[in-house]
């Protein structure tokens, strides 16, 4: 302008004539140097190059931003908030199912422990049952042996009864011929009576022997009772029945003593009075032998009931083993379900982590582009308002919740 021209070095130093007398080209150069037009041209050239670079950078940035905008629109079309709500709802359901599964697992473990304890007891009972069955078989064999001997004893009693009948007939005949009988005949009769009395005494001794064998059976029954006390209240009834058998055996022993007295009376009556009271005693003895046989049959029935209870215990043991297998299968199924849920959670967590990492990289790239553009514009003195920073859904909370859930499952 005029002021600048007046204040230039040429005017202030009185050298205006140099500028006036200079050639047009030199004058133009001097004016350019005076006004620093060369720097403006240099700045103009640099501005052109910078503008070209900025335009190219803006074009690339706009393309990238457009791509990211499309991606964000696609993400927003999937309704991520609804997806997040669905994931939280599923997480709540999964947490509830896991809690129920945990409670069920605890209950099943407790029941399995109880069943294992019961199975251990049943195995012990099974061993005791086997020993008891062996003793029952031995007792049964002894009973059969006693039955056989009782039958033989009954046969002997019948034979003795027949002999007594024959003796009674002989006594009757002797009474009719009493006046004709002599002392030797009487001695002969006494010898016969003594022989029969010895036979009766032998029979009584044999019965005593049978009584001792019954006592041995009683001892065996007592040992069986001690073993069966382990089986609880069901064995109590058997114990009471066995006690009744012991009472019956004791009663039989008492009656055997009574029969001994009756045999003595028979001997006295046969010798002194030739009476038939002995026949009644023998008949009572025969009835008692039958009664003893009935008692042994009752004992057989009780032993069979005992075998039935042992079989029932064995059946219960088998059912318990089947129940234990079912509980183990249910527990394995539950563990497999929990493992599948853990794998699904891990897969979902991995996908979300990958997506977050990709979004973070995009955010960093956009930030770098924005900083580069802002730096270039500041260098050339251009103030252009850039687009605001894009927003995205923060899924870090979902990732954190899923990570906590995975840790909880791992601890579970």
Of the pLDDT bands very low, low, confident and very high (cuts 50, 70, 90), residue 49 is confident
Query: 405, 95 in Cβ contact below 8 A?
Result: yes
The CA distance from 154 to 292, in Å, is 11
Backbone angles phi, psi at 392, to 5 degrees: -140, 165
- Read off the pLDDT of each residue in 46-58 and give the average, rounded to a whole number: 86
Query: What digits encode the pLDDT tens for the residues 117-144?
Result: 888 887 887 787 778 778 778 877 877 7
- Read off the pLDDT of each residue in 89-110 and give the average, rounded to a whole number: 84
Query: 111, 334 in Cβ contact below 8 A?
Result: no
The CA distance from 383 to 380, in Å, is 9
pLDDT at 285: 47
Q: Per the structure block, which two tokens stand in for 382?
A: 């251009």
pLDDT at 109: 86
Place of tokens 């605890």: 106
Query: What digits encode the pLDDT tens for the residues 18-41?
Result: 667 778 888 777 777 766 666 777
The CA distance from 263 to 271, in Å, is 12
Backbone angles phi, psi at 348, to 5 degrees: -65, -40
pLDDT > 70 in the chain, percent: 32
pLDDT at 183: 44
- Mean pLDDT (the chain) is 64
pLDDT at 144: 78
Of the given ranges (25-29, 63-67, 161-165), which has the lowest mean pLDDT?
A: 161-165
pLDDT at 398: 44
């Amino acid at each position: 302008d005029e002021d600048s021209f007046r204040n230039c070095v040429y005017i202030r130093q009185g050298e205006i004539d140099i500028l006036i007398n200079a050639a047009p080209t030199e004058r133009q150069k001097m004016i350019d140097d005076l006004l620093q037009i060369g720097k403006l041209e240099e700045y103009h050239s640099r501005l052109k190059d910078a503008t070209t670079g900025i335009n190219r950078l803006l074009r690339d940035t706009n393309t990238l931003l457009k791509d990211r905008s499309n991606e964000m629109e696609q993400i927003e079309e999937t309704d991520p908030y609804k997806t997040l709500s669905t994931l939280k709802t599923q997480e709540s359901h999964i947490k509830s199912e896991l809690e129920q599964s945990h409670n069920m697992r605890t209950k099943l473990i407790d029941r399995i422990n109880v069943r294992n304890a019961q199975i251990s007891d049943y195995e012990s009972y099974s061993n005791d049952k086997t020993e008891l069955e062996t003793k029952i078989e031995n007792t049964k064999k002894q009973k059969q042996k006693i039955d056989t001997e009782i039958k033989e004893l009954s046969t002997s009693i019948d034979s003795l009864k027949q002999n007594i009948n024959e003796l009674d007939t002989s006594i009757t005949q002797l009474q009719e011929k009493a006046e004709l009988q002599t002392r030797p005949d009487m001695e002969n009769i006494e010898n016969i009576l003594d022989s029969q009395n010895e036979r009766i005494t032998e029979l009584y001794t044999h019965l005593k022997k049978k009584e001792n064998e019954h006592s041995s059976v009683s001892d065996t029954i007592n040992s069986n009772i001690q073993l069966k006390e382990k089986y609880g209240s069901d064995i109590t009834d058997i114990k009471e029945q066995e006690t009744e058998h012991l009472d019956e055996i004791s009663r039989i022993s008492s009656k055997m003593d009574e029969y001994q007295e009756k045999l003595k009376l028979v001997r006295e009556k046969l010798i002194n009075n030739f009476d038939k009271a002995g026949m009644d005693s023998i008949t009572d003895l025969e009835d008692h032998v039958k009664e003893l046989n009935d008692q042994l049959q009752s004992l057989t029935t009780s032993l069979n009931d005992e075998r039935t209870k042992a079989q029932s215990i064995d059946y219960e043991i088998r059912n318990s083993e089947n129940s234990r297998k079912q509980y183990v299968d249910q527990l394995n199924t539950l563990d497999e379900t929990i493992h599948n849920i853990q794998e699904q959670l891990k897969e979902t967590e991995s996908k979300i982590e990958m997506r977050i990492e990709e979004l973070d990289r995009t955010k960093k790239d956009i930030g770098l582009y924005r900083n580069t553009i802002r730096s270039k514009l500041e260098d050339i003195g251009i103030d252009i308002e850039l687009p605001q920073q894009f927003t995205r859904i923060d899924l870090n909370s979902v990732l954190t919740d899923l990570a906590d859930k995975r840790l909880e499952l791992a601890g579970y």
